[in-house]
Amino acid sequence: KKIFVFIRLGIQLGSRIKKFAPDFVYFTIKPAGKGFYRDIFFVLLIKALGVKPIYHLHGKGIEIKNRVLKTIYNLVFSNSIIIHLSKSLLEREIMPLNLKNSSLFFVENGIRCVDTEKFIKKTDHFIYIFFMSNTFPSKGTFVLLEAFKLLSEKFKHVKLDIAGMSSKNNDTKIGTFISKNSLDQKARHHRQISIHEKHQFLRKADIFVLPTLNDTFPLVLLEAMQFGLPVISTFEGGIPEIVEDHITGFLVKQNDVQGLAEKIEILIGDDDLRMKMGGKGRQKFLNEFTLDKFEHKMMKVFDEL
């Protein structure tokens, strides 16, 4: 069944190219994994019809493991326009391919602005730590829980909200960890939240934490910065171009429970630093990561073609 769908999509793509005769085809190719090999068919079809592809990469994972793989990548990405999510990802994954006749750009993602003031600010004395993503281990969920366990032994006025879900088995493990370590009164897991609830959590929070192990350019960090939160995350993907270490938040090594706990503790104990970092993060969001900024940068790329 999948093969027939695949063939049908190829026929539709070919017929539309012949009908409209475009100079370019915008294509969000998967840069690695099974999706990449699936997309090769469409790429070769686009090129065979004499059209130059515009690749907009939303993931990472390009590795030159051997000559065969490098040849495949060169076949796909040469004679094309490539837009990646950050300068560092472009330099790390695309430039080493030494592509021929390709134009390279980076355009950071942006999100729609929200009226943050319309949501109710907290009125109690607790420090709220907020995590929002899917809750698979690859997002650092259990790294955060282990760090919070250490912090809860030192601070009585700190609470943790985890928003997001993954598999039933994994989410059960989160609940078990919270109960086993007697964190029921301090840590809560909210599997599903509405957009309004998400914004309310962001408004209530004091610190946003995403100790992710595998990410490219997580938009949730932009959402946290929009709400003026200091952000703690990792040196993963394009995150260092979102979070400026020691300026708009902190970056820690992956799987570093102690290091994460130390950075959170710094922000717990310093109200002024939280406000300063959060303010700079919000300004960085307004300057670089709004939807208007994203659209302007994309149009600038298209104008150069």
Residue 221 lies in a domain: yes
What's the mean pLDDT in 159-187? 96
Decide which of 55, 85, 106 is a domain's last residue. 106
pLDDT of residue 260: 99
Last residue of a domain, one of 106, 138, 173: 106
Look at residue 297 and tell me if it is in a domain: no
pLDDT-based confidence at residue 116 (cuts at 50, 70, 90) = confident
Position 132 scores a pLDDT of 98
Neighbours of 163 (CB within 10 A): 20
How many Å apart are CA 83 and CA 100, to the nearest integer? 16
Least-confidence region, from 108-122, 143-157, 171-185, 190-204: 108-122
Burial of residue 305 (number of CB atoms within 10 Å: 0-12, 13-18, 19+): exposed
- Domain identity same for 140 and 218: yes
Q: Are 223 and 283 in contact (CB under 8 A)?
A: no
Same domain, yes or no: 123 and 236: yes
Is 294 a member of any domain?
Answer: no
Q: Are residues 39 and 144 in the same domain?
A: no
Does any domain span residue 126? yes
Q: Examine the domain organization and report whether 36 and 143 are in the same domain.
A: no
Based on the domain organization, do 173 and 98 belong to the same domain?
no
* CATH number of the CATH domain containing 54: 3.40.50.2000
pLDDT-derived band at 2 (thresholds 50, 70, 90) equals confident
Q: What is the pLDDT of residues 124-172, one digit of tens each?
A: 899 999 999 999 999 999 999 999 999 999 999 999 999 999 999 999 9
CA distance 162 to 131: 5
Residue 226 has a pLDDT of 98
Confidence of residue 1 (pLDDT cuts 50, 70, 90): confident
Residue pair 81/43 in contact by the 8 Å Cβ criterion:
no
Residues 195 and 72 in one domain: no
224 CB contacts (<8 Å, ≥6 apart)?
130, 132, 202, 205, 208, 231, 281
Of the chain, the percentage scoring pLDDT greater than 90 comes to: 90
Quick one: pLDDT at residue 17? 96
Residues of the domain holding 71 = 2-106
Question: Residue 216 domain-assigned?
Answer: yes
DSSP state of 137: G
**What pTM does this model have?**
0.93
Asked if residue 266 and residue 136 are part of one domain, the reply reads yes
79 with 160, same domain: the answer is no
The tokens describing 145, both together, are: 């829980």
Query: Per the domain annotation, does 28 fall within a domain?
Result: yes
Residue 55's nearest CA partner among 71, 69, 73 is: 73
64 pLDDT tier (thresholds 50, 70, 90): confident
Q: Do 144 and 94 share a structural domain?
A: no
Task: Count the domains in the chain.
Answer: 2
Q: How far is CA 290 from CA 15, 117, 229, 285, in A?
A: 36, 17, 16, 6
The verdict on residue 240 lying in a domain is yes
Query: Do 71 and 124 have their domain in common?
Result: no
Q: Is residue 304 part of a domain?
A: no
pLDDT, tens only, 83-104: 999 999 999 999 999 999 999 9
Whether 19 and 145 share a structural domain: no
Residues 32 and 76 in one domain: yes
Q: Is the pLDDT of residue 121 over 90?
A: no
Last residue of a domain, one of 84, 106, 128: 106
